[in-house]
Chains A and B, each alone.
Chain A
């Protein structure tokens, strides 16, 4: 465990040094993410100028939900996004060989190599959005509730990480996993919607239960203003464990097919 912590710290140090070398890039990308986060919040604000509620949720409940979604997204992008997508490109080009020769678990090495400090900086803004919405709702969560919220956000990141690793592992079979990035952003749109808005059986089955992008954000958000729901929390934790196990299985199955590439 300590061995992996050391490896991860070395990668983090490398990513931060690299960011400091390209400060202009860091500034532009941090601004890009900030703009996109503002776009989502602004949209909610405009919609609420013309309605009293979305599936029974008030404006600040929705902002809390969107803030939670943005927080999970920022962590996912900050810690794993670049590494996972680079993995897809490396599998195609044959550069994935480099990870096979490294001293550690291949999935860990390949998916944690690069950090994106611009996303991590914006995670503070996303957290501030959550705090602001909670204040507007007059919420005063206890330490236990906050700890549980953080734990659930963590489960959400694990679920998204697992789904992404699985999607990119397709490259082991098909050589190319292009287009997943854009599709994944579309999927994120569902995570910013209240669960009750999914009225249809198909959409509910697909996005709420099968691919739990909706539960991932709704459960921690509701924990803050409706209290603890043991059933949903257990489902979220269970989903995180199952999805992670499936991702490990698919990745290693795919790895068996990896035959490098000619130079």
Chain B
């Protein structure tokens, strides 16, 4: 058990090193995401003019939700993991894992955790620079319980994010080009993950459907707990349960795709 952990600890450390090489890329990306934040502030401020609230939440609570989302993206989102996996399958680089006692999912996940740790810490830099401007919009709940309750949701969200990216990577066993599928799915994930608007703004019937889908737990669920949009303990516990079910379902799908995909794999190159 410990030997296996040591193996993936090494992978994590190597992932950490190789991602620190790209520190400037992440930092620049973080700075550019401030432009997105500016567009968000302009749009939602204009929408709230005269009313002071949107869907029962103040303008500041809405902006706080989007700032939290931005930080979460850098900490738990899958950036290009799907393409990296796809590339390794296409180029035959996965062949080496077939001959070694290394679980490919655990290997890639260790690198993913390292990469997000680096990008997540680096996004703090542009946020600190923008803090004098965005500070006036921030409105977090005063108690720390939201923060503590949000962390398990955030960890499971990272697993869901990575698992979905891994699924798309696995599609390379069947399709040569996955970019179209990834961007198509990204459009769905962006809306149903709550990145365009907080999902509680959806009509009640659509919100109940969204709650059953994995996208809800990719980003919206932890962000809503952190920012006080979901406060009821029963709702949080129910969310944890559905999120855990999706984690298991996605892991099973991943395993099935890997096993089936390998049957088609011809191990060219490597």
Chain A residues with a Cβ under 8 A of chain B:
25, 28-29, 31-32, 35-36, 38-39, 42-43, 46-47, 49-55, 179, 182-183, 186-187, 189-190, 193-194, 196-199, 203
Q: Which residues of B contact A194 (CB under 8 A)?
A: 46
Residue of A nearest to B187 (CB): A35
Q: Which residues of B contact A190 (CB under 8 A)?
A: 39, 42
Q: Which residues of B contact A187 (CB under 8 A)?
A: 35
The segment out of B82-90, B110-118, B143-151, B175-183 that lies at the interface is B175-183
How many angstroms between the C-alpha atoms of A194 and B33 in the bound complex?
21
B251 at the interface (CB under 8 A from A): no
Q: Which residues of A contact B35 (CB under 8 A)?
A: 183, 186-187, 189
CB distance from B239 to the nearest CB of A (A): 21
Chain B residues with a Cβ under 8 A of chain A:
25, 28-29, 32-33, 35-36, 38-39, 42-43, 45-51, 54-55, 177, 180-181, 183-184, 187-188, 190-191, 196-197, 201-203
Q: Which residues of B contact A196 (CB under 8 A)?
A: 46
Contact of B201 among A25, A35, A50, A179 (CB under 8 A): A50
How many angstroms between the C-alpha atoms of A25 and B175 in the bound complex?
11
Q: Which residues of A contact B203 (CB under 8 A)?
A: 49
> In the bound complex, do residue A197 and residue B42 qualify as a contact, i.e. CB atoms below 8 Å apart?
yes
Q: Which residues of A contact B36 (CB under 8 A)?
A: 186, 189
How many angstroms between the C-alpha atoms of A54 and B43 in the bound complex?
7
> In the bound complex, do residue A51 and residue B47 qualify as a contact, i.e. CB atoms below 8 Å apart?
yes
> In the bound complex, do residue A39 and residue B187 qualify as a contact, i.e. CB atoms below 8 Å apart?
yes
> In the bound complex, do residue B54 and residue A51 qualify as a contact, i.e. CB atoms below 8 Å apart?
yes
- Seed contacts A32-B180, A194-B46; 8 additional CB < 8 Å A-B pairs: A47-B54, A49-B201, A51-B51, A52-B51, A54-B47, A183-B32, A186-B35, A190-B42
Q: Which residues of B contact A25 (CB under 8 A)?
A: 177, 180
Q: Which residues of B contact A47 (CB under 8 A)?
A: 43, 47, 54, 197, 201
> In the bound complex, do residue B46 and residue A46 qualify as a contact, i.e. CB atoms below 8 Å apart?
no
> In the bound complex, do residue A46 and residue B48 qualify as a contact, i.e. CB atoms below 8 Å apart?
no
How many angstroms between the C-alpha atoms of A14 and B74 in the bound complex?
41
> In the bound complex, do residue A42 and residue B180 qualify as a contact, i.e. CB atoms below 8 Å apart?
no
Whether A31 touches B39, Cβ cut-off 8 Å, given contacts A50-B55, A50-B201, is no
CB distance from A186 to the nearest CB of B (A): 5
Q: Which 6 A-B pairs have the closest CB atoms?
A: A28-B180, A197-B46, A35-B187, A189-B39, A55-B46, A43-B196
Q: Which residues of A contact B54 (CB under 8 A)?
A: 47, 50-51
CB distance from A191 to the nearest CB of B (A): 10
Q: Which residues of B contact A31 (CB under 8 A)?
A: 180, 184
How many angstroms between the C-alpha atoms of A187 and B45 in the bound complex?
18
How many angstroms between the C-alpha atoms of A42 and B195 in the bound complex?
13
CB distance from A70 to the nearest CB of B (A): 14
Q: Which residues of A contact B180 (CB under 8 A)?
A: 25, 28-29, 31-32
Residue of A nearest to B51 (CB): A51
> In the bound complex, do residue B48 and residue A51 qualify as a contact, i.e. CB atoms below 8 Å apart?
yes
CB distance from A185 to the nearest CB of B (A): 9
> In the bound complex, do residue A186 and residue B187 qualify as a contact, i.e. CB atoms below 8 Å apart?
no
Q: Which residues of B contact A203 (CB under 8 A)?
A: 38, 42
Q: Which residues of A contact B49 (CB under 8 A)?
A: 53, 55
> In the bound complex, do residue A46 and residue B32 qualify as a contact, i.e. CB atoms below 8 Å apart?
no
Q: Which residues of B contact A51 (CB under 8 A)?
A: 47-48, 51, 54
> In the bound complex, do residue A46 and residue B197 qualify as a contact, i.e. CB atoms below 8 Å apart?
yes
Whether A39 touches B191, Cβ cut-off 8 Å, given contacts A179-B28, A203-B42, is yes
Q: Which residues of B contact A38 (CB under 8 A)?
A: 187
**10 interchain pairs, CB-CB under 8 A:** A32-B184, A39-B191, A42-B191, A51-B54, A53-B49, A54-B43, A179-B28, A196-B46, A197-B45, A198-B42
How many angstroms between the C-alpha atoms of A53 and B197 in the bound complex?
16
CB distance from A52 to the nearest CB of B (A): 8
Q: Which residues of B contact A43 (CB under 8 A)?
A: 191, 196-197
How many angstroms between the C-alpha atoms of A54 and B35 in the bound complex?
19
> In the bound complex, do residue B187 and residue A32 qualify as a contact, i.e. CB atoms below 8 Å apart?
yes
CB distance from A14 to the nearest CB of B (A): 20
> In the bound complex, do residue A182 and residue B47 qualify as a contact, i.e. CB atoms below 8 Å apart?
no
How many angstroms between the C-alpha atoms of A157 and B110 in the bound complex?
44
CB distance from A140 to the nearest CB of B (A): 28
